[in-house]
Amino acid sequence: MNATELREHLHGTTPGLALPPAFAETVLRGGRRRRARRRLAVAASVVAVVAVAASATVVTMREDAPVPVADARLTMPTKGDLAGDKAFLDQARHAWQEGLPYSPEARDGYYDDLRGDPHVYWAGSTPAGRAAVVLQQVYVHRNNQVPENGLRTAEGLVAIDPGDGQLKLVTTRMIGWDEPGVADYYKFGPDDRTALIVDNGKPLHYAFDFTVVQGDDGRRDLRFDWSQAEPDDGVAIVTVPPDRSPWEMVAFEGSDPPDLLPVGDYSLMTTTASSYLMLRLTDPSYRMHSDLLPWGEVTWELGEPLGLPPIALDGRWGVFRSMAQQKDYVVSPWTIAVGLPDGRVIILKQSQVGTAPPRLIAKVAPDLTAETMNLIDGGTVDPEAILPVRFRIPDGGGWVVADKGKQLRYRTSPDGPWQDAGRDAALLPDTVREILVGDDYVRLS
């Protein structure tokens, strides 16, 4: 299924659902916010920045969980009815080693420093044939996708590819995908109708579809019809019914699956094996070049509360559909989301095409319901600058500034008092002229 088919399918199955512009492409590149698979491309030119901006505010920051030092699963005995089949376990490990360099996220160097040997966590029979969940320790080095060095666990599913009948790595779980409630599960086999949910010791729930519920305030939510999964020896296996789409199947880990999720929050959704195989690298030595700020996957929310989770903000406006043609385009996993008193919404990210200097890109919408936004070029970004991110919002909106890890203060006149703006990122008044970034001084033009 391609992006157009997915979009048409979702519109057909959910009348009245207004999907964000980049939804289909986003799902096809990984299902959610592990952005290594969400590489989209860029148009060569963008509009110039217009001057202006509004008031200082508090920052809400969401970051990934701390990097684990070790994973106890790596030393557990293999589970599943094929745990004693040494020949199959060897085949699964071999398929893992052969397939991992071709994974879409390998282009970002995720698997360049593997440690130890692959471990088969589960091996068993499924309606789609023999399959295995494979783990391996990897040392991930800091880059534009990963904010810090550390040991992580690479994980994926080895199964039969219906296209050629061969046993291979058919999908991976993106490193760092460790958020509460997000189940560890895979959709694979003919038409991606077999779902394998890994049992990590918590209750498991799944749903095959959703309905759209609209409140009196105009807000639209997704309501799922949850069923409880019954794990057996390490996994729960369910089959997506013929009248349901595998794309709509979701799983939840925990005692209380949410009754409602906002339209635009696709946090429980994963990619399918067929889309993963479609996105595999053709050249395992290829590495995406990037000089983006190494801030990792973090969302700073400034100004008026937007009331949307980071995945909804990023899925709706963080990826640029008009930029979908060039291979070497990369977008920062970090996002600055701003709500202004006049209702406008600003999404600020960093982008780079090939080896060209990285640029600051802003999208400005009149409100949260807007389907289109104005694209504004914020200029090149110097990672060595005292204040690498500085953006003046059009029409008097204020200044957006950021430098991860730094305390920010500002004043509006040469002899005025310094005012605290918090850490990392801030929305400042349009009248601001001087900023302290840690102990370093910056004057805005």
For 59-70, write each residue's pLDDT tens digit. Answer: 333 334 444 447
Longest Cα pair distance anywhere in the chain, in angstroms?
77
Same domain, 213 and 315: no
Comparing 340-354, 365-379, 413-427, 430-444, the range with the smallest average pLDDT is: 365-379
Same domain, 115 and 152: yes
Distance CA 149, CA 81 (A): 37
Same domain, 43 and 177: no
Residues 406 and 388: beta-carbon distance below 8 Å: no
The region that residue 398 occupies, defined by phi over 0 for left and psi between -120 and 50 for alpha, beta otherwise, is left
Same domain, 132 and 203: yes
Would you state the structure tokens that stand for residue 217, as one six-digit string?
A: 């305030």
Same domain, 189 and 329: no
- The more confident residue out of 138 and 65 is 138
Residue 21 lies in a domain: yes
Residue 26 lies in a domain: yes
Task: Calculate what percentage of the chain has a pLDDT beyond 70.
Answer: 77
Comparing 178-182, 311-315, 317-321, the range with the smallest average pLDDT is: 317-321
Distance CA 280, CA 168 (A): 12
Residue 290 lies in a domain: no
Q: pLDDT averaged over the chain?
A: 80
Residue 431 lies in a domain: yes
At 337 the pLDDT is 93
Strands 374-380 vs 335-339: parallel, antiparallel or unpaired: unpaired
Same domain, 261 and 304: no
Instruction: Among 250, 279, 308, give the residue marking a domain's end.
Output: 279
Distance CA 84, CA 112 (A): 30
Instruction: Among 245, 279, 313, give the residue marking a domain's end.
Output: 279
Same domain, 127 and 58: no
Please give the model's pTM, rounded to 2 decimal places. 0.66
pLDDT in tens, 259-275: 888 776 767 888 899 99
Same domain, 73 and 221: yes
Residues 248 and 27: beta-carbon distance below 8 Å: no
Same domain, 111 and 213: yes
- The more confident residue out of 329 and 335 is 335
Same domain, 53 and 92: no
Residue 388 lies in a domain: yes
Domains contained in the chain, number = 2
Please provide residue 249's backbone torsions phi and psi, each rounded to the nearest 5 degrees.
-75, 130
Containing structural domain, residue 108:
66-279
Distance CA 94, CA 262 (A): 41
Residue 287 lies in a domain: no
Nearest CA to 390 out of 411, 360, 431, 419 is that of: 360
- The more confident residue out of 442 and 181 is 442
Beta strands of 220-307 (E only): which ranges? 220-224, 227-228, 235-239, 250-253, 260-262, 298-303
Residue 288 lies in a domain: no
Same domain, 358 and 343: yes
At 317 the pLDDT is 61
Residue 286 lies in a domain: no
pLDDT in tens, 214-243: 877 667 788 999 999 999 999 999 999 999
Same domain, 85 and 209: yes
Amino acid at 408: L
Instruction: Among 279, 308, 323, give the residue marking a domain's end.
Output: 279
Residues 34 and 105: beta-carbon distance below 8 Å: yes
Q: What angle do CA 319, 324, 329 make, to 5 degrees?
A: 75
Residues 244 and 9: beta-carbon distance below 8 Å: no
